[in-house]
Amino acid sequence: MTQIVRNPQEIQNLLETNGAYSSTALIDLIKYPVITEKSYSAIFTKTQYTFDVDLRLNKTQIKKLFEKLFQINIIAVNTHRPPRQYLRVGAKIGAKPRYKRVILTVQKGQSISNLNCTTLIPASGGTKS
């Protein structure tokens, strides 16, 4: 059973202790990698990876998190919170959940091995026959 991290103090304890939490609790703080044309080209040209992470994390916690999970050296951490997107379903107006977008610059020669970008290249040119 995975442990749920509820407040910022638990996040700090999670990153500072070695064996108290499982790695799945750490991975739960990362929502998903962002794969767009711009972020995909940055992987190969600038060794930069883009992720959406938990909104409560700060830059030092993000750096510790990725260095601990993927055993890589991170040179720079850039973050921003994109504007909230609103949805309309019938007469009700709702909003998508907030997140923090992170751009990680990794040391030359290193990569995040669990992120398989070669499978994301389309096999065909996308033309209709």
Q: What is the pTM assigned to this prediction? A: 0.75
Look at the block and give the residue holding tokens 């790695």.
23
Q: What is the pLDDT of residues 15-62, one digit of tens each?
A: 776 655 567 778 888 999 999 999 999 999 999 999 999 999 999 999
- pLDDT tens profile 84-126: 999 999 999 999 999 999 999 999 999 887 765 544 444 444 4
84 close to 95: Cβ distance less than 8 angstroms: yes
Looking at domain 8-110, its CATH class is alpha beta
Q: Where are the domains of the chain?
A: 8-110
Q: Output the DSSP codes for 11-29.
A: HHHHHH-SSSS-HHHHHTT
